[in-house]
């Protein structure tokens, strides 16, 4: 059995991280068997190296090795690609075609991004894993294949299973052995080593001197999060090698090639919204609506107090908390305007307590009671109707109407303009 170091040299794997070494050890151990393997890890960590190691160290090394990117094949054609189709099976099927499982018989198939497979294809794949059988699209004939399957994904499989996007039974069939590759940010000692390797390769490729990082640039390189992992690091090394005239790179120059992702500290982000999240949002919305309804009822109560007591200043003192709850801080200009607006529904302050209540004022009381009873009618509409009635009663004379309503003529003018009377 070859050593981990020999395998890394053979397959061009750079790094000495313990987690990386453990992943390679597991690949070496499972290679002689026919166990299904699931390679997990973030995008760009180099998952494609593991199935190559497994294939080359297995008894299938002389058979075909086919790598399939499941996420790159349209849903409508992926069954045909994997299992083949008969002539006339669908529009455009002008001849019989052999799928990857038929072509790779006796070899290894690497299913990259297996988490992107449609559910119907997952059922077909499960049958292959269970008994090595498959049926071409448009055929009724069962065919046998002897294929080793190695799959890879950057998807959280348990989340996918929970959302019913991936079959649980298929997951356990694929992950008989699971090999996880660590993200680049967890391999701090390997980052500069990888950069130097990439810089050397691109210097040879483009026939130019190798770029080198000074100490500040190396520190920046190690602190960066590298969400794109090795693939992103390789791209940065290539850009710098091609674009920079000065072969000595400092931190400020390197920073120009690193996308600004905010903090370099790790962050836990749940990108998915569960049903419970939406449920809590609905509950918050309902609470806001109920609070608004409560405030409206409080406003109606305040309006009735104003009408019965005949003095906005007295009611303001008695209901200061209620007024502030509805209109905010009493030091705010909007609060003063709010109290002034409420005077629209108050009785003139010069009225005597024992003075008989005029018929039109009685109408206002009954009207206010109707406001409290009829939830579908807004205070805005009733206020507008009161102003209209008063103006009609006084033939459009604003001064008399304002006196009757218990508000200043300026406030009445503003209301007329507001309601476009």
Q: Which range of residues forms the domain containing residue 146?
A: 4-182
What pTM was estimated for this model as a whole?
A: 0.62
- Among 149, 182, 215, the domain boundary falls at 182
DSSP conformation letters of 223-257: HS--TTHHHHHHHHHHHHHHH-SSSEE-HHHHHTT
Full pLDDT tens readout for the chain, 421 residues: 689 999 999 999 999 999 999 999 999 999 999 999 999 999 999 999 999 999 999 999 999 999 999 999 998 899 999 999 999 888 888 899 999 999 999 999 999 999 999 999 999 999 999 999 999 999 999 999 999 999 999 999 999 999 999 999 999 999 999 999 999 999 999 999 999 999 999 999 999 999 999 999 999 999 999 999 999 999 999 999 999 999 999 999 999 999 875 444 454 445 454 555 555 666 677 677 777 777 777 777 767 766 666 555 655 555 666 556 555 554 455 545 554 554 444 444 444 444 454 555 455 445 545 544 454 446 667 777 788 888 888 888 888 888 887 788 878 777 787 777 7
The owner of tokens 């790779």 is 104
> Do 178 and 244 sit in the same domain of this protein?
no
> Do 189 and 92 sit in the same domain of this protein?
no
> Do 394 and 248 sit in the same domain of this protein?
no
Is 108 strand, coil or helix? strand
- At a CB cut-off of 8 Å and minimum separation 6, what does 294 contact? none
Q: Which of 131, 72, 132, 123 is nearest to 101 (CA)?
A: 132
In a domain, 266, yes or no: no
- Among 144, 161, 182, the domain boundary falls at 182
**Domain total in the chain:** 3
Categorise residue 273: left if φ over 0, alpha if ψ from -120 to 50, beta otherwise: beta
Which pLDDT score is estimated for 414? 79
**CA–CA separation, 146 vs 167, rounded Å?**
23
Which pLDDT score is estimated for 337? 54
> Do 99 and 32 sit in the same domain of this protein?
yes
In a domain, 277, yes or no: no
Residue 101 · residue 147 · CB < 8 Å: yes
HSE-up of 7 (CA within 13 Å, CB side)?
25
> Do 108 and 148 sit in the same domain of this protein?
yes
In a domain, 103, yes or no: yes
Q: Which of 418, 416, 406, 420 is nearest to 340 (CA)?
A: 406
Residue 126 · residue 167 · CB < 8 Å: yes
- Among 182, 212, 239, the domain boundary falls at 182
Q: Looking at the chain, how many residues does it have?
A: 421
> Do 176 and 192 sit in the same domain of this protein?
no
CA angle, residues 175, 112, 202, in degrees to nearest 5: 125
In a domain, 334, yes or no: yes
In a domain, 200, yes or no: yes
In a domain, 154, yes or no: yes
In a domain, 260, yes or no: no
Which pLDDT score is estimated for 98? 94
> Do 359 and 250 sit in the same domain of this protein?
no
Q: Which of 45, 43, 52 is nearest to 11 (CA)?
A: 52
- CATH number, residue 219: 1.10.8.60
In a domain, 347, yes or no: yes
**CA–CA separation, 139 vs 116, rounded Å?**
25
> Do 158 and 111 sit in the same domain of this protein?
yes
> Do 115 and 200 sit in the same domain of this protein?
no
Is 410 strand, coil or helix? helix
> Do 196 and 172 sit in the same domain of this protein?
no
> Do 43 and 176 sit in the same domain of this protein?
yes
> Do 142 and 45 sit in the same domain of this protein?
yes
**CA–CA separation, 33 vs 288, rounded Å?**
61
Q: Which of 92, 111, 182 is nearest to 150 (CA)?
A: 111
Q: What is the dihedral of CA 334, 338, 339, 340, to 10 degrees?
A: 100
- CATH number, residue 107: 3.40.50.300
**CA–CA separation, 123 vs 224, rounded Å?**
41
């Amino acid at each position: 059995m070859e050593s981990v170091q020999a395998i890394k040299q053979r397959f061009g794997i750079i790094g000495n991280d313990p987690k990386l070494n453990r992943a390679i050890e597991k690949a070496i151990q499972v290679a002689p068997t026919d166990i299904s393997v699931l390679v997990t890890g973030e995008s760009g960590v180099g998952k494609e190296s593991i199935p190559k190691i497994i294939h080359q160290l297995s008894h299938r090394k002389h058979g075909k090795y086919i790598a399939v990117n499941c996420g790159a094949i349209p849903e409508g054609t992926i069954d045909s690609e994997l299992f083949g189709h008969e002539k006339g099976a669908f529009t455009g099927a002008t001849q019989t075609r052999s799928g990857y499982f038929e072509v790779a018989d006796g070899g290894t198939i690497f299913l990259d991004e297996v988490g992107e497979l449609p559910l119907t294809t997952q059922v077909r794949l499960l049958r292959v894993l269970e008994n090595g059988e498959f049926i071409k699209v448009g055929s009724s004939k069962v065919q046998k294949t002897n294929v080793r399957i190695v799959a890879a994904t950057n998807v959280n499989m348990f989340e996918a299973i929970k959302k019913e996007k991936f079959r649980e039974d298929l997951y356990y069939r694929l992950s008989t052995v699971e090999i996880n590759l660590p993200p680049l940010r967890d391999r701090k000692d390997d980052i500069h080593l990888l950069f130097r390797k990439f810089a050397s390769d691109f210097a040879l490729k483009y026939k130019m001197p190798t770029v080198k990082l000074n100490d500040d640039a190396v520190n920046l390189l190690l602190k960066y999060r590298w969400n794109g992992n090795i693939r992103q690091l390789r791209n940065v090394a290539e850009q710098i090698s091609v674009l920079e005239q000065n072969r000595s790179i400092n931190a400020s120059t390197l920073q120009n090639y690193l996308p600004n992702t905010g903090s370099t500290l790790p962050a836990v982000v749940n990108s998915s919204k569960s049903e419970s999240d939406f449920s809590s949002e609905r509950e918050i919305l309902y609470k806001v609506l109920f609070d608004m309804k409560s405030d409206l009822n409080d406003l109606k109560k305040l309006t009735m107090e104003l009408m019965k007591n005949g003095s906005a200043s007295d009611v303001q003192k008695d209901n200061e908390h209620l007024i502030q709850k509805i209109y905010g801080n009493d030091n705010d200009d909007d609060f003063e305007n709010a109290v002034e607006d409420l005077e629209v529904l108050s009785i003139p302050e010069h009225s005597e307590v024992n003075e008989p209540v005029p018929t039109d004022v009685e109408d206002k009381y009954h009207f206010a009671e109707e406001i409290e009873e009829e939830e579908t009618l807004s205070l805005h509409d009733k206020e507008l109707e009161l102003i209209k009635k008063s103006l009609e009663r006084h033939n459009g004379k604003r001064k008399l109407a304002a006196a009757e309503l218990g508000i200043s003529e300026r406030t009445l003018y503003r209301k007329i303009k507001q309601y476009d009377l």
